[in-house]
Amino acid sequence: MPVAMLPASFADRGRSARRSATHALAVGWAVVSLVCMAPWVDAQDDAPRLDSGALEIVQPPAGLPIFDQVEVEVRVPASLAVAELRLEVDGREAARLVLPPWRVTIDVGSENREREIVAIARLADGSELRATRRTAAIRIDDSLDLGLQQLYVTVTDRRGELRKNLPRTAFRIEDANAPQELVTFAAGDVPFTAALLLDASSSMVGERLDASRRGIERFVGGMGDLDLARLLVFADRLLDLSTWTSDSAELARRVGETEATGGTAMYDHLHQAVLLLEQRQGRRVVLVLSDGWDLHSVLDFETVERLVRRSGVQIFWLRPAADVPRGRLLGPREGGTVRRAIPYGAWRGRDDGLGAYRAFEDLVEDTGGRIVSFESDADIEPALVGVLDELRSQYALGYYPTQRRGGGSWREVEIDVAGSGLRVRAPQGYVDRREGGGS
């Protein structure tokens, strides 16, 4: 996987020493790997070249490398009557838009090279306006990949209460059954990037959608200065997609303007959310608010599972307790076993749906995330606040694996914490994506 773009906050030299140190930990091995890559950071084309002076390509940033799925956003003055906006990448048409927002995610390919993005706006009078954005290739004089592995873990006591302020000496890590030396450690305020995946299918109509709006506003409003979130509202299709932001009122407004309708394609949109997060550095989280019964996705669960495990994101799943099927539940919940008719559709039978539902439960647990089953719509807001509190209380553990196979092999990880009755919730492993192998 090519090295992703550095986050914008990396270049902000005016931040406090505390935030800089915390952010440096969050980007982890990428900072080390890019020590000798300074030439592309100082690219000359560090501002958009506007042919018309009217359009502006605001994403992706100029002078930085881009790969694979990339969001392109064009700022169009309200005074312009745009009939169509066409996007070209290196002379090849990539997308056409006819309505705002003038924003779309396109695939630019994985080759490491310079690219030129051109936005061409056709106006109502037939004339055209253009804007150009150039990105750079990564020029590496000397590559040093030390492979720092970072894991984000939660520690609770017997009552399920979060345990904070534990020392680094309390943690022990084994990677592929081999003890590891903990070389970086942080607790508490480690920045994160979150994709908020909101199910707006017909099952969310009424108070449930409104309660979700209030919860999302509280969650985003409580984030730190370096945290970012992105809202994906979906049913059997994508209904809304925001930019990366910390504006809680803007995301709440988007949810408030959503009308619940249609079926559920959770796997398709979880896949999209993870692809967007793969463009970010540091701690990456997906919050899924859905009953989890997917009857309309084109992608199968196995495809989504492979991407989630490769990306290293953590998933937190908020689901209505009344929709949980009979059988095993993750986490304590009052009220006993819930009996529920298993839904099915033209693409997925009852057994397929139930199997994927159970597999998604396991996947959430394997990422080090958590399932929260809420009893009533009024519980959605405190549930989201609880997830935010957990993210603010996690420990970031970093180490250099003593044995590396590379080539996409799966590495099992075990983390123990010293202390009577303490429990640790952590990723069960990671995909070793280094080229080649060896130790």
Q: Residue 406 has what pLDDT?
A: 64
| Mean pLDDT, residues 122-151 taken together | 77
Model confidence pLDDT, tens digit, residues 184-197:
999 877 899 999 99
pTM confidence score? 0.65
| pLDDT surpassing 50 at residue 27 | no
Return the minimum-mean-pLDDT range out of 58-67, 137-146, 379-388, 420-429.
137-146
- Token reading at 50: 């506007």
| pLDDT surpassing 90 at residue 61 | no
Q: How confident is the model at residue 30 (pLDDT cuts 50, 70, 90)?
A: very low
Return the minimum-mean-pLDDT range out of 18-27, 320-329, 359-368.
18-27
| pLDDT surpassing 90 at residue 138 | no
**Are 394 and 426 within 8 A, CB to CB?**
no
| pLDDT surpassing 60 at residue 34 | no
Quote the mean pLDDT of the chain.
Answer: 80
Residues 6+ apart with CB under 8 A from 49: 131, 132, 133, 134
Q: Residue 439 has what pLDDT?
A: 43
| Mean pLDDT, residues 276-299 taken together | 91
- Token reading at 261: 């309708």
Residue holding tokens 């000798």?
36
Q: Residue 12 has what pLDDT?
A: 38
- Token reading at 399: 């180490």
First and final C-alpha spacing in the chain: 20
Q: Is 131 helix (H, G, I), strand (E, B) or coil?
A: strand
Q: Residue 365 has what pLDDT?
A: 95
20-44 exposure pattern, b = at least 16 Cβ within 10 A, e = fewer: bebbebbbbbbbebbeebeebbebe
Q: Residue 120 has what pLDDT?
A: 95
Q: What are the percentages of helix, strand and coil residues in the chain, rounded to 5? A: 25, 30, 45
Q: Residue 387 has what pLDDT?
A: 97
- Token reading at 55: 């359009």
**Are 160 and 332 within 8 A, CB to CB?**
yes
- Token reading at 126: 């037939």
Residues 6+ apart with CB under 8 A from 35: 144
For residue 76, the 8-state DSSP code is: -
**Are 313 and 363 within 8 A, CB to CB?**
no
Model confidence pLDDT, tens digit, residues 84-107:
999 999 999 999 998 888 988 888
Closest C-alpha among 71, 133, 82, 146 to residue 106: 71
* C-alpha R_g of the chain: 23
What's CA 217's distance to the chain center, in Å?
Answer: 18
Model confidence pLDDT, tens digit, residues 206-217:
889 999 999 999
193-209 exposure pattern, b = at least 16 Cβ within 10 A, e = fewer: bbbbbbbbbebbeeebb
- Write the CA distances from 312 to 33, 65, 274, integer angstroms: 18, 22, 9
Q: How confident is the model at residue 344 (pLDDT cuts 50, 70, 90)?
A: low
Q: Residue 349 has what pLDDT?
A: 53
| Mean pLDDT, residues 217-237 taken together | 94
Q: Provide the pairing of β-strand 429-432 with 409-417.
A: antiparallel
| pLDDT surpassing 60 at residue 153 | yes
Q: Where are the alpha helices (DSSP H) in 257-401?
A: 266-277, 301-311, 350-366, 380-392
| pLDDT surpassing 50 at residue 409 | yes
Return the minimum-mean-pLDDT range out of 74-78, 138-142, 224-228, 298-302.
138-142
User: Where is pLDDT greater, at 56 or 1?
Assistant: 56
d(CA 41, CA 137): 10
Percentage of the chain exceeding pLDDT 70: 77
d(CA 233, CA 199): 6
